Structure 1
Amino acid sequence: MSQKKIFIYLGLAIAAGLVFYLLRDEAEENGWFLSEEEKKTKAEWMAKGSPPGGSSTADNSNFLESLDESIPPEKILKDYLEWSEYPPNSRPLTKYNEDLTNPYFIQISPIAMVDNPEDKKPNGYSCKLQPLQWAAIGVKEPLHITLECFNTNNFEKVPLNIRNVKLWKEFDGNKFVALPPDGNDKGIDGDAQAKDNIFTFEWRPTYKDWGDMFLEVEFEYGKEKKQGKALSSFFSSPYQPAEWSGYFLDIPRDGSLSIKAGVNVFKAGNYHLEANLVNAGNGDPIAWASFDGKLNAGRQEVEFLFFGKLIRESGYEGPYALTQLRGHRVNLAVDPDWFGQGEEGMRKILAAKTTEPDKELVGPYKENYATKEYNLNTFSLKAYESPEKDQKVKQLQDLSR
């Protein structure tokens, strides 16, 4: 090899090393070298409305006390700076945030079955009692729960024979018996397909069925008619404190996207509401936003403000789609306003007793709302700024020195 070629290859190698060095930080920041599990973990804490490091409050007064002491301050600072590029009420949304992209479904893992409670080795079958929605909302729409068992060798579903069904509500350590659901494998009343060895229960709450519900099913499964029992839980919210009216308005505001949604409020109170923003064309997730505030009875508007930097970084031009509208009326025994009422407020707080579940769910809006068309330059790339953020950054910088 000639000396000239050696110098050329050496120069290329140095240039490649320099490019790698310059892009290393960007690659790490964008997660190019992360495994799927690491990407999921990062996506989960980036999507949260509270900062990493152990703190779940926006109150600076006890921010340092709430930090996880097992995590080095330098890492907490680095993570906080990345997390706080976006405001607490408008966060990144990715395919890894399944609890946000599909908020009404919680996947349950099959349970390996045994012939006797003391057996340590599974018998070759697994069963699953799966609510198809994590909550029953209102008294009109039924909730469906499926039961299936399969052979773990070939995953073939096996016949079922239901022997007994129990349903109860649990609240404050007490159990309250409820009317159990009917079920079938005949392709009716919510059962998707007849005789497919997937048994479907259909249940509608009464107005007294408010809170955490537990369903227990005793059954026979397989050709051997083995005895099995499965337990599952879901939330029931029969009262409708509010409903989405179907009115929407989207406008740019301060480099972000404001989408106002109409709400018919039947029961005044403090509400926590959420919505997702996705690309209208392919459904790719972009961001989620939340509203927290007091709503009076009657027609109301709530605003979801999707932070401009999130939209800009998605690379998607509008239109966008507002999806998965959800939320609840906060039903705590303690009114947040009491904390600012001095001695009188403290007296109310100490006397407060919990007699009802802590939330009443608002039924989902089942359609998507498509926004107007937008150019990406409409939205700002500027990171989130606030006095609270500055104070927390200073506290963490002092702690890491």
Structure 2
Amino acid sequence: MAKPENRSGHQPQSHGSFRRSRLILLALGLGVVLVAVVLSLGRRRAHETDLDPRPAAPLPLAARSGADATVPAAPATQESRPGAATPHTAATPTAAGGDESLLDRSTAIAMTKQLIEDYRRRAAYPPDSKPITQEQDPLLSDREVSPISAGGPDGEDPILTVFPEQISFEAQELPKLYAHLTVGGVKVAAREITGTVFTQEMVPAGEIVFHDDGREGDAVAGDNVYTATWTPPETDTALATSYFVRVIAFSLEGIERRAGTSFQVSRPHAILTGRFRDRLQDGSLVIEAEVEVEKAGRFHLAATLYSTTNRPLGLGQTSVELEPGVHWVPLRFYGRIFHGAETGTGPLDGPYVLRFVSLMTTTSMPNALSRLAEPQFVTRPYRAADFTSEPFNDPFYLEAIARETEELRRLEAGTVEAGE
């Protein structure tokens, strides 16, 4: 069995807005070496932390024109969202300013129209249920592994690449890491590859030795992809713990390369039992998942729904507080999803397939990730006509649309003044 370069099976990509990757510089060794590490653990999509993060606040008018016209809005927080007041620190030029001002205002008008259209699309669905409009499944892309590569001072060969088998391991699993050297894009043998595992506090937690002999987790001997496993300390009983790894490799010629990666060890307080059931409710599809809770806390459940021909339809999610025991947790897939309004694919009759299910323990940070489940649960053969095709009309976004529409009217009339 061949070893993967990236066990996610695809290259890392952004989920529109939603990708939260953190770039961390780790001072490892004697304080001499800085290793750039992309912390995959922090790449949880907003839909796994907040039901609806309200991703973009309205742009200040000045930012919709001139040199700033292409600068995206900052990610929203609870205080930064559509409907929140945004001070206008500079004037939007009017026609009196000449051709450049006309161009700036034209750009601002176009951007405001685009923003209104985006808000209309968002308003059509409730915060807990959205259509899948991108090619890649959002839950699957959440679990992508990001390989980290480092070459010489000027990027020269050999290049060292390191990555974990997955972004999070459950406590009963041995974390597995991979490393390889390449010259001209071709993997080559290494004289030695070793690593040091550090805690979040940058305290050394263990040493690892990578090997390519087909034993102890290494899938194929001699393929120049080196494997190492590591046993987390028994004293670590936290809900979830992040670890950082500094990797040092020597080529057969004795050239040294260093790179770093990270992973998480999770101890979730609930599991999916594997039982599901479905029903039609208020024009939407509700699928319930049975969850067995070991310890009381807060949990986030999310799932993606597909057609029987593997066409992605929608994402459903919910956050709940649960006590120990067995519980049925409902997920809503809003009825408009089955009419293909946003994707342009048209209505689609059932049955439908529950493709991926994510259960996280979110009682504290970092959240504990359970293994991504693939239940392949099939619903009853509903018809698309059974579900509502009406937009949800989320009042949160409708309010934002109203204000942006007023701003658009003022922009088109050329009545926006400095300081507004």
**Matched residues in 1 for 2:350 and 2:394: separation?**
28
Q: Report if the CA contact (8 A) 1:162-1:217 is conserved.
A: no
Report the RMSD for the aligned CA atoms in angstroms.
3.2
The CA deviation at 1:244 is 0.3
**Matched residues in 2 for 1:69 and 1:361: separation?**
43
Q: TM-score w.r.t. structure 1 length? A: 0.71
CA 1:109 to 1:287, structure 2 compared with 1: closer, same or farther past 3 Å?
farther
Q: Report if the CA contact (8 A) 2:82-2:400 is conserved.
A: no
Aligned to 1:186: 213
Q: Report if the CA contact (8 A) 1:167-1:216 is conserved.
A: yes
Aligned residue among 239, 242, 247 for 2:270 = 242
Q: Report if the CA contact (8 A) 1:136-1:205 is conserved.
A: no
CA 1:318 to 1:182, structure 2 compared with 1: closer, same or farther past 3 Å?
farther
**Matched residues in 2 for 1:40 and 1:387: separation?**
25
1:287 is the counterpart of 2:314: yes
The CA deviation at 1:293 is 1.9
Partner SS for 2:194: strand
Partner SS for 2:186: coil
Aligned to 2:123: 84
Partner SS for 1:310: helix
CA 1:127 to 1:272, structure 2 compared with 1: closer, same or farther past 3 Å?
same
Aligned residue among 218, 242, 255 for 1:226 = 255
Deviates more, 1:196-205 or 1:70-79: 70-79
Aligned to 1:151: 183
More helix per residue: 1 or 2?
1
Aligned to 1:268: 296
**Matched residues in 2 for 1:322 and 1:364: separation?**
12
**Matched residues in 2 for 1:178 and 1:42: separation?**
35
Partner SS for 2:401: helix
**Matched residues in 2 for 1:183 and 1:367: separation?**
34
Q: Report if the CA contact (8 A) 1:77-1:396 is conserved.
A: yes
Q: Report if the CA contact (8 A) 2:339-2:384 is conserved.
A: yes
CA 1:69 to 1:109, structure 2 compared with 1: closer, same or farther past 3 Å?
farther
Q: Report if the CA contact (8 A) 2:299-2:362 is conserved.
A: yes
Ranges in structure 1 where 5+ consecutive residues have no aligned partner: 1-38, 333-356
AA matched with 1:215: V
Q: Report if the CA contact (8 A) 1:53-1:76 is conserved.
A: no
Give CA deviations for 1:66-107 in whole Å, capped at 9, x if unaligned: 799997544332211122211221112245445533432223
Ranges in structure 2 where 5+ consecutive residues have no aligned partner: 1-13, 21-44, 58-74, 91-107, 410-420
The CA deviation at 1:58 is 6.9
**Matched residues in 2 for 1:85 and 1:95: separation?**
17
Bigger Rg, structure 1 or 2:
1
1:63 is the counterpart of 2:78: no
Q: How many residue pairs end up in the alignment?
A: 324
Partner SS for 1:157: strand
Q: How does 1:133-144 map to 2 (within 5 A)?
A: 133-137=166-170, 139-144=171-176
Aligned residue among 53, 56, 62 for 1:53 = 56
Aligned residue among 159, 166, 176 for 2:196 = 166
CA 1:74 to 1:62, structure 2 compared with 1: closer, same or farther past 3 Å?
closer
**Matched residues in 1 for 2:353 and 2:89: separation?**
41
Q: Report if the CA contact (8 A) 1:165-1:180 is conserved.
A: yes
Q: TM-score w.r.t. structure 2 length? A: 0.68
